């Protein structure tokens, strides 16, 4: 047996503090195939963890549980930040990575990766946001319940004009038009989403546009933003709220549905930022409230972050079951990247490291008060 390096000893000790072993028998234990993994983990933290998994440097039966245990033990804070991550903080402070031009990169690199992938992974309506599992037993029902929850929370009624910022493949637009008789304008920065959403909403009072939210100059009764605010960026939070407010008629309401961090962060998870959601950033509740001040009345805040754990695991189950039909278009490295994305995010929600907020905002306040809907 080769003697352990200093890096290996350090990593083993850190993992032991989280109840994780190397070559152990628990499903969350790591099997390391390449000794360079240890130095990469110490140098680059979560970025090195994700990259060495993509490179088959290590394996684990339950990556979701591994990540959950790492986060609960605070291992991220115990691993020093590399120079690359420090530079990322500096770049974030010096430039606005979410200008209209730069913001479209996430459309090209993530949402345009292939409609076939998302069709196999998501529910029948292709809803790419957290499901609501209060009374649901299946992914399809959880997503339908979430869409109903959104419509009911902001009182969508027949004939209302609704703006859907970040409309995805049109699931909310279709639901609100078919079930509530709303007239919906959906905007997205993904060309692939815009094409398929247009097709899926054909025959309904729905218009899908390839457009940035900053380019909208119209008035609506309601505004909905489901899983899009994560791409806005701190430099634009205030401008986003001002634009949303300007798009609403007096007495209008807005639903903000977003993943959020527990604290105000300087950077995004570096692996997620590099491989999954470029130029994205999770807001904190404080940042959201600072941006809202003076634009809206906050009527309701609802956190159901643990439901995203269950949603992500359902997506992972679907994509794993469908991989034989996808492997001709996506290689092994992509599959491992996608697995790490879904499972590490599930682990983060399970550890309560990140949250899912639905925030109901009104322009001017609801006369007599707002009655929360759950």
- The Cα 290–Cα 93 span in angstroms is 18
What whole-number distance in Å separates Cα of residue 357 and Cα of residue 261? 10
Partners of 183 in the β-ladder: 161
CA distances from 313 to 17, 134, 139, 171, 216 (A): 26, 16, 10, 20, 35
Torsion angles phi and psi, residue 311, rounded to 5:
-65, -45
Q: ∠ CA 228-229-235 to the nearest 5 degrees?
A: 135
Query: Among candidates 146, 152, 104, 153, which has minimal Cα distance to 125?
Result: 146
How many Å apart are CA 66 and CA 314, to the nearest integer?
18
Q: Which residues are catalytic?
A: 345
What does the alpha-carbon distance between residue 279 and residue 281 come to, in Å, rounded to a whole number?
Answer: 7
Q: Which are the contacts of 352, defined by CB distance < 8 A and separation ≥ 6?
A: 262, 305, 306
């Amino acid at each position: 047996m080769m003697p352990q390096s200093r890096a290996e000893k350090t990593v083993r000790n850190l993992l032991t503090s989280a109840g994780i072993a190397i070559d152990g028998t628990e499903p969350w234990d790591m099997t390391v195939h390449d000794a360079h993994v240890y130095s990469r983990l110490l140098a680059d933290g979560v970025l090195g963890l994700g990259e060495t998994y993509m490179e088959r440097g290590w394996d684990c039966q339950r990556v979701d549980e591994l990540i959950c245990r790492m986060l609960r033990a605070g291992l991220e804070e115990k691993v020093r930040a590399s120079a690359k991550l420090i530079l990322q903080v500096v770049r974030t402070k010096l430039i606005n990575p979410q200008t209209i031009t730069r913001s479209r990169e996430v459309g090209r690199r993530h949402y345009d990766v292939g409609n076939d992938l998302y069709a196999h992974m998501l529910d029948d309506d292709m809803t790419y946001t957290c499901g609501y599992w209060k009374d649901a037993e299946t992914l399809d029902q959880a997503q339908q319940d979430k869409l109903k929850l959104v419509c009911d929370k902001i009182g969508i009624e027949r004939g209302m004009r609704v703006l859907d910022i970040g409309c995805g493949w049109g699931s909310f637009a279709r639901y609100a038009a078919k079930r509530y008789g709303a007239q919906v304008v959906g905007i997205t920065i993904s060309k692939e989403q815009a094409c398929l959403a247009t097709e899926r909403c054909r025959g309904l009072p729905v218009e899908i546009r390839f457009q940035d939210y900053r380019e909208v100059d119209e008035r609506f009764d309601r505004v909905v933003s489901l899983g899009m605010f994560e791409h806005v960026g701190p430099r634009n939070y205030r401008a986003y709220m001002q634009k949303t407010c300007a798009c609403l008629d007096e007495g209008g309401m807005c639903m903000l549905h977003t993943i959020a961090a527990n604290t105000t962060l300087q950077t995004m998870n570096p692996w997620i930022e590099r491989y999954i959601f470029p130029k994205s950033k999770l807001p904190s509740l404080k940042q959201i409230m600072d941006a809202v001040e003076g634009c809206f009345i906050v009527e309701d805040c609802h956190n159901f972050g643990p439901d995203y754990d269950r949603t992500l695991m359902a997506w992972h189950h679907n994509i794993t079951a469908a991989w034989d039909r996808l492997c001709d278009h996506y290689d092994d490295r992509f599959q491992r990247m996608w697995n790490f994305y879904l499972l590490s995010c599930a682990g983060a929600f399970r550890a309560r490291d990140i949250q899912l907020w639905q925030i109901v905002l009104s322009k001017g306040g609801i006369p007599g008060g707002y009655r929360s809907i759950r």
